[in-house]
Chains A and B, each alone.
Chain A
Amino acid sequence: MTDMTHPIPRNSRLEQLRHRFLRTPLDIAVTAASLLLALFVGWKLLDWAVLSAVWTSPDGLSQPCRDASGACWAVIEARWRLILFGVFPYAEQWRAAVATAALILAGGLSCLPLFWSVIRQALLWIAAFALFMVFMHGGVFGLSSVPPAQWGGLALTLFFFVAVVIVGMPLSICLALMRRSDLPVIRGTAIILIDGVRALPLVTILFTAALILPFVLPGWLQGDKIWRVIAGFALFFAAYQAEVLRSGIQALPRGQEEAAKALGMGYFHRITRVVLPQAFRNALPPTINQLVITLMETSLIVIIGFFDLMASGNAAYGTGEWSFAYVEVYAFIALIYGVFVFSLSRYGRYLERRLRVGSS
C-alpha cells in the first residue's frame, strides 16, 4: 500500500505508519479489519494455549483435559520421556539423556572459533561419539547393553543427523574436489556417483541400505542396520552438498589457486588453506539450507523401522487415553525441531558476518 511516487515523510515513525495504513478511507477500513482479525485470532490462540490450557494432570490421566476447552499440555507431561527417548528402557533413560546432551554440547562447541581446525573437530567428535556410544549403547563399564533397535525419539534423531553430517561432509568435499580433477577417470567417477545418487529418491536409498545390502554384503561388512542406513543417508547428503561446495569453489577467481601455486604451495595446502575456506564461505547459505533439510528428512527413517522423534511423537498420542491430543504433541515436536533449526540459522548469520561473506 506504499506509493513509491510519493516520498514517505520521514519526520516520525507514527507519521510513516499513518501514511502507509491510514491514508484513504479504504485504507482505514482495511487496516481496522485486519487489526480486528489479528486480535481475534491472537486472543483465541492465547486462550487455547495458555488461559484455558491444562498444564498438568496429577494422576497421569487425560480426564482433566477432556473437561477443559484449552490445550492439553498434560499430554507432554505424561509422555515427554517417550517423545525424547522412544522405547529406550525406561529405567535407563538417564543414559540416553546424557548421550544426547553430549551430542548437543559437542555441536555447540564445534561452532566456536576455538574448534575451527580439522584436528580439533575430529578430536571433539570422536570424543562425543565415544561418550554417546558408552552411554547409549552401553555394554561397557557395567552398563547394560541397549542395541540401536531400542533407541528412539530425539536421541535417535539427533544421533542420526549428526552422524550423517559428519560422515557426509568430508565425503562431499572429496566428491567436489574429484569432480574438478584434471584426470578424466577421477572426474568421471565423481560425476557418476553424484548424478547416480541424485537420480534416486532418498526412500529408495534407505530401503536399499536397510533391506537389500544385507543380501549383497559379506556378513562381516554388514554391521547393524543403523550403520548401513547412516552410510546410505550420508552418501545422499554428500551428493547434494558436493554440488553446493562445487559452486562455492567455482566462484573463486582462478588467480587464487595460481597465487598459491606460485608461492610453491602443494595441492593439499592449496586446497585446505586457500580454496576450501573461501569455498565454504561462498557456499554458506546453501550449506545451512542443506543441513536444515537433512535434519527434517531424518524423519524418513521411520519407514525402515526406526523410532525417530516424529515416530515417537505419533506413539505419544497413539494410545486411547491421549488420542485427542495430537495437536499439542505436534506443537511440542515442532518446537523441538524449531529450536535446532533456529540455532542453525542464527549460527549461519553469525558466520556470515564473521567471515565477511560477500567481501573479497
Chain B
Amino acid sequence: MTDTAIQIRRMNKFYGSFQVLRDINLTVRKGERIVICGPSGSGKSTLIRCINRLEDHQDGSINVLGTELNEDVGSIDLIRREVGMVFQHFNLFPHLTVLENCTLAPMLVRRFSRAEAERVAREYLERVRIPEKADAFPSELSGGQQQRVAIARALCMRPEILLFDEPTSALDPEMINEVLDVMRELAMDGMTMVCVTHEMGFARQVADRVIFMSNGEIVEENTPEAFFTNPRNERTRGFLAKILAH
C-alpha cells in the first residue's frame, strides 16, 4: 500500500447526463511514469483533473497517497499540496514575477519563510534552466520558457506526484524539446508522473506504461514497446496509424 501513489477503482464521471469517464481502473506506483494518450474528447484531461479534484467524480473511488478523495475540503487541500499540475496553457500568474510565481504557494500553503521559499525557487529555476529570468514577468517570456517556469512553480511545492496535461501542445515546435528535456530529467530523478501527451517519442523513452483512452474508457494499458509495436486493440492501432503518420 505504501508504494501506491494513485489508485482509481471503478470510477465514473458525468457532466449532467453525459458520461465522460466509464469504469476507470488505474493504479500508479510511486516513481512510475504513465503516459495517457487518445483522441480529442476521449476524457484524458478530465481523468487527470479528477486526480487533484479540479473535477469531482460521481462514482467509484480515487485514492491518492493514502487519502480518499471526497467532499472533505481539508483532504482536498492536503492532496493538492502533494500533487503538482502543469497545464497546456501554462497558467502562470501574470501579475507576479517569475520568482513570485514560484514562491507564492510555498509561502502561503507550506508556510516557508520568504528566504527559504526564494532559495528553493531559485534552485528549481536553475534546474529548468532559466535562473536569469527570475525577476521577469511571464508576459516577457517565450512559451517554452513559460512552461518551464510553470514546471518549476509546481516543483517548488515539493510534490510527490506531477500531472501534465498536454504540456507541449500549445508550443511552437522549436520550443517543445526544451520542455521535454526538463520532463525527461524529472523522470530520471524518480518523480511520479502522469502525462497526457501526444509526444510519442517521449512516451517511448520515458514511460513505464502507456494508456490509451477512447470515449471515456481506458481501452489499452501496455508497456511502451508492446504499445507501439504490437497494440492489442483495434482502436489503438487506428489512433497510432494516424498520429505516427506525420
Contacts and interface: CB of A to CB of B under 8 A. Distances in A.
A356 interface: yes
B139 A255 contact: no
A278 interface: yes
Interface in B26-61: 52, 54
Contacts, number: 68
Interface string B98-110: 0000001100110
B103 to A, nearest CB: 11
Contact of A265 (B85, B108, B137, B154): B108
A360 B139 contact: yes
A45 B204 CA distance: 83
A262 interface: yes
A273 B87 contact: no
A261 B104 CA distance: 12
Most buried by A among B91, B109, B153: B91
Contact of B84 (A262, A265, A266, A274): A262
Given A258-B54, A356-B137, A359-B139, A263 B91 contact: no
A266 B77 contact: yes
A126 interface: no
- Size range of the chain A interface in the assembly: 20 to 34
A interface SS class: helix
A278 B94 CA distance: 8
B80 A355 contact: no
A258 B153 CA distance: 14
B91 A255 contact: yes
B91 A264 contact: no
A281 interface: yes
A357 to B, nearest CB: 10
B112 interface: no
A356 B95 CA distance: 8
B89 A263 contact: no
Interface string B195-217: 00000000000000000000000
Interface string B18-30: 0000000000000
A259 interface: yes
Contacts of A264: 77-78, 80-81, 105, 109, 157
B93 interface: yes
Given A258-B91, A356-B137, A359-B139, A263 B109 contact: yes
Interface of A: 253, 255-256, 258-266, 269, 273-274, 277-278, 281, 355-356, 359-360
Interface of B: 52, 54, 77-78, 80-81, 83-85, 87, 89, 91-95, 104-105, 108-109, 137, 139, 150, 153-154, 157
Given A253-B91, A263-B84, 15 more contacts: A258-B54, A259-B87, A262-B85, A262-B87, A262-B154, A263-B104, A263-B157, A264-B77, A264-B78, A264-B80, A264-B109, A265-B109, A355-B95, A359-B137, A360-B139
